[in-house]
Structure 1
Amino acid sequence: MPPKSRFVRLDAFTKTVEDARIRTTSGGIVTIVSLILMLWLVWGEWRDYRRVAVKAELVVDKGRGEKMEIHMNITFPRVPCELLTLDVMDVSGEVQMGVLHGVNKVRLRPENEGGSVIESNALELHEDTATHLDPDYCGECYGAPAPDSAKKNGCCNTCAEVRDAYAGVQWSFGRGEGVAQCEREHYAEHLDEQLHEGCRIEGAIRVNKVVGNFHFSPGKSFSSGNLHVHDLENYFKDDSNHSPSHIIHMLRFGPPLPEKSRGQLTAVGGVWTNHHVNPLDGTEQHTDDKKYNYMYFVKVVSTVYLPLGWEKRNDQITNVLGDSHDSVGLGNFGQGTSGSVETHQYSVTSHKRNLDGGSDADEGHKERLHARGGIPGVFFSYDISPMKVINREVRAKSFSGFLVGVCAVIGGTLTVAAAVDRGLYEGQQKVKKLHQG
């Protein structure tokens, strides 16, 4: 027997003779419809194969010695920039008082004048006139030791340096009466000019990734033993309408996602939606009481976004460990070289109280009592979750899965089409027999 005929017995696809085939109009229609349906289903399989899904994973955050950035844009319509101070402190013992690096203070016109931004040349309260004095000039610190920030060792040549010296020994400074440097710089007059102004704080700060807080309070801050104190004399002394009313335009922990990635994550299951609607964005609080305190308790969860193929590009995320954080510019923290991002989501609860204490009887809660005392302002206490969320891009279907899907579409469509065609053909034959009989 020839070798070729050995495979004849194994042929599972038996053929019919052309003369034995019957072609019908209904069969042609079924063929066209099945081909169109087949192409449409194959195209759907291709789109499903090309679709990128986002797989969320929850792991223990084992990072050590990390930093994170807090980006903010907050308006205080009733506190002038000269009185507003930003302080940061955490459980590691690190304290940043009067933060200026990375943060801009924008002076705003009074509320009744629209609250618009004042000219950029008016952003500073006073000029450093010490540069125009005799090079041998050494200003007096009025009984306080010269601050470490003094440009000339052992001297207080500017009003700001005298204020720092007073803060160092926990003395109230007031309006600088009798201080030659402040009278030369017209410090009191500039205070009066800003009396009814507002202030907007915008920028970013870098903090240790541990439990801590940052707050906005009036007056120069200093430490008194284990207490954190603010010089509130100028805040309470005058007859202005000062109050800690505020508008949080934006507050986020870490960098934002690129617009492309954000839209992709929102479209695929909405995994990232809650993160990018930061809970505190658009928050507005108003009070006419100077002695008022707002507290926000924030729970921060580390969140990583890893784009498709990031591991093949030798991606480096600048979440910066140890001493290397100094080499990363403010605002570039957490950005990977191939689109990966390490940022943070957060949830928040809030509380507010009058510093005079009392109960919430006016709000229908007589059982609630508030402690007396404290510092007026806006406080953000943040806690770090021990868990980390990893959002990883993956293919929704493998190539082998795509091939299996295509085969299933072709085979299933042909099988169904053959059954429909057979049914139509037999139906036509029965109708003919009924008419002929």
Structure 2
Amino acid sequence: MKRSTLLSLDAFAKTEEDVRVRTRAGGLITLSCILTTLFLLVNEWRQFNSVVTRPQLVVDRDRHAKLELNMDVTFPSMPCDLVNLDIMDDSGELQLDILDAGFTMTRLDGEGRPVGDTTELHVGGNSDGNTPVNDDPNYCGPCYGAKDQSQNENLAQEDKVCCQDCDTVRSAYLEKGWAFFDGKNVEQCEREGYVSKINEHLNEGCRIKGSAQINRIQGNLHFAPGKPYQNTYGHFHDTSLYEKTPNLNFNHIINHLSFGKPIQSHHKLLDNDKRHGGAIVATSPLDGRQVFPDRATQFHQFSYFAKIVPTRYEYLDNVVIETAQFSATYHSRPLIGGRDKDHPNTLHARGGIPGLFVFFEMSPLKVINKEQHGQTWSGFILNCITSIGGVLAVGTVMDKLFYKAQRSIWGKKSQ
């Protein structure tokens, strides 16, 4: 019979059953190898079925797109009638007094509980939206020197310079840079009930919640007292009433502050699918922060400096969420300037606007967190084969060592 050429290629030479030596130590090592192999295979299977999030750093090419700002801030010692929110950036774009668009304000009593209804006082009318007006068709409201009305006597009614309501008088004062205070003795404000209401609310707090859109460049957002105005000299607020009322300050609680869309909504949409348990969640490091300094803080500026990193989450179900992560540092200073009481060598600049400021700066890079399976099929099979082969190789070496040691001991005893 012709010898097959495949016999010379057989790398797995067999031994006869009669010449094999079986030992108890070999049996124990075999059981250990089987258990170890099963344990490794189960771990490989779990890893194969797991979902991991792998980050990738790229240049942000979506800098033209707007970024969503979400916030929920409580001011225990600032009435809703007096606080305003402005957003400014280095492009020169200004969003002034935006609390009436996209935000809700809740009045709070001294214990932090909501009071009244959700409708806040708006200058120029009552809280129910009905503005008391003068029924006289020839009525021309005075501007109290804020506008030139000296030529009104020679003009027709429709051409006269008039201030018909409280908001018009207040705007005229702002254009002049005059202090408006609470509008006392201004006939239009007294008629509309603005004076009495704003004085009634001076001992209240305010909770502000909502969202806005910001450009992906450097800028700041700030809560400050009084109506804002912009002129050739810069950005200002009418802080006259705030300065007149010593119990007001910008001590605050940041219930929530984030940039971009919340990714938690996607987890809820998927009913908290376990395969998303390992995903990286964007944190909001300032959530729950409370600032109540021991010293008088009426003329203080509280500042946060946020470094924002645009972030994209790509899920296995083809859902893509554009959001952002950020880190923040805190600083406060008295507006009167001077030396720091805790650090005598530190000098504070004098001037500024009291309030809560968040200075933000965008990173030019973007983090892409992509969801992927832990292993591919080929990787899973390769790891299984490697695990089996490795355990068998180690078991073979241990069996030979134990067998030689056993023979050596028996040999000495027989002498």
- Counterpart in 2 of 1:60? 59
Q: Match of 1:196?
A: 203
Residue-by-residue CA offset, 1:269-318 (whole Å, 9 max, x unaligned): xx957x515146514143524222222222222122223x46xx3xxxxx
Q: Give me the whole-angstrom Cα distance separating, in 2, the residues matched to 1:70 and 1:370.
A: 30
Establish whether residue 306 from structure 1 lines up as the match of residue 303 from structure 2.
Answer: no
Q: Distance in 2 between matches of 1:303 and 1:10?
A: 57
2:349 matches 1:371? yes
- Unaligned 5+ runs, structure 1: 146-153, 314-337
Aligned match of 1:359 = 339
Q: What is the aligned partner in structure 1 of residue 384 from structure 2? A: 406
In structure 1, the partner of 2:112 is: 115
Aligned residues of 1:244 and 1:377 also touching (Cα < 8 A)? yes
User: What is the distance in 1 between the residues matched to 2:286 and 2:131?
Assistant: 46
Q: In the alignment, is residue 348 of structure 1 matched against residue 328 of structure 2?
A: yes
Q: What letter corresponds to residue 225 of structure 1 in structure 2?
A: T
1:19-418 counterparts in 2 under 5 A? 19-99=18-98, 100-110=100-110, 114-120=111-117, 123-124=120-121, 126-130=126-130, 142-143=142-143, 159-160=166-167, 162-164=169-171, 166-167=173-174, 170-238=177-245, 240-258=246-264, 272=280, 275-279=282-286, 281-286=288-293, 287-307=295-315, 309=316, 313=318, 338=319, 340-360=320-340, 362-365=341-344, 367-418=345-396
Q: Spell out, residue by residue over 1:67-91, the C-alpha distance to the aligned partner (whole angstroms, 9 max, x if none).
A: 1112112221111110111111222
- How many Å separate the matches in 2 of 1:256 and 1:57? 20
CA distance in 1, matches of 2:289, 2:86: 22
Q: The residue matched to 1:9 in structure 2 has which SS?
A: helix
Taking a change above 3 Å as real, the CA distance of residues 386 and 434 of structure 1, as seen in their structure-2 partners, is closer
> Contact conserved, 1:139 with 1:158, CA < 8 A, in 2?
no
TM-score by length of 2: 0.80
Range 78-87 or range 371-380, more displaced: 371-380
1:377-433 CA distance string (max 9 Å, x none): 112221222222222334444332322221122122222323333444455555566
The 3 A distance-change label for structure 1 pair 48 and 68 is same
SS at 1:130 equivalent: coil
Alpha-carbon separation, structure 2, partners of 1:428 and 1:138: 121
Give the C-alpha shift of residue 65 in structure 1.
Answer: 1.8
Displacement of 1:64: 3.6
Give the secondary structure class of the aligned counterpart of 1:32.
helix
Task: Give 3-state SS (helix, strand or coil) of 2:101's partner.
Answer: coil
Instruction: Supply the distance in 1 between the matched residues of 2:274 and 2:188 (Cα, whole angstroms).
Output: 58
Following superposition, the deviation at residue 226 of structure 1 comes to 3.8
- Residue 17 of structure 1 deviates from its aligned partner by 3.5
Q: Does the C-alpha gap of structure 1 residues 92 and 54 become closer, same or farther in structure 2, counting only changes over 3 Å?
A: same
Q: Structure 1 130/158 Cα, relative in aligned 2: closer, same or farther at 3 Å?
A: farther
Give the distance between the partners of 1:98 and 1:265, measured in 2 at CA.
44
Q: CA RMSD in A?
A: 3.6
TM-score of the superposed pair, with normalisation by structure 1:
0.77
Cα distance, 1:216 vs structure 2 = 0.7
Q: CA deviation at 1:178?
A: 4.3
How many angstroms apart in 2 are the aligned matches of 1:265 and 1:48? 12
Please tell me whether the aligned partners of residues 311 and 323 of structure 2 are also in contact (alpha carbons under 8 angstroms).
yes
Paired residue for 2:153?
none
8 Å Cα contact 1:219/1:234 also seen in 2: yes
Evaluate the alpha carbon distance shift between residue 92 and residue 353 of structure 1 in structure 2; reply closer, same or farther with a 3 A threshold.
same
Give 2:208's aligned amino acid.
I
Distance 1:61 1:201, change over 3 A: same
Contact 2:304 2:331 in 1 (8 A): yes
CA distance in 2, matches of 1:165, 1:265: 60
Indicate which of 420, 423, 429 corresponds to 2:398.
Answer: 420
Query: Does the C-alpha gap of structure 1 residues 14 and 135 become closer, same or farther in structure 2, counting only changes over 3 Å?
Result: farther
Distance 1:371 1:31 in 2: 78
SS of the equivalent of 1:255 reads: coil
Contact 1:130 1:158 in 2 (8 A): no
Q: Distance in 2 between matches of 1:427 and 1:157?
A: 109
Unaligned runs of 5+ in 2: 148-160
1:372/1:208 CA distance change after superposition, 3 Å: same
Q: Could you say if the C-alpha distance between residues 416 and 128 of structure 1 is closer, same or farther in structure 2, counting changes exceeding 3 Å?
A: closer
Change in Cα spacing, 1:184 to 1:6, as seen in structure 2 (3 Å) is: same
Deviation per residue, 1:305-348 (Å, 9 max, x gap): 223x46xx3xxxxxxxxxxxxxxxxxxxxxxxx1x322222233
SS of alignment partner, residue 397 of structure 2: helix
Aligned to 1:335: none
Shift of 1:236: 2.1
- CA 1:280 to 1:139, structure 2 compared with 1: closer, same or farther past 3 Å? farther
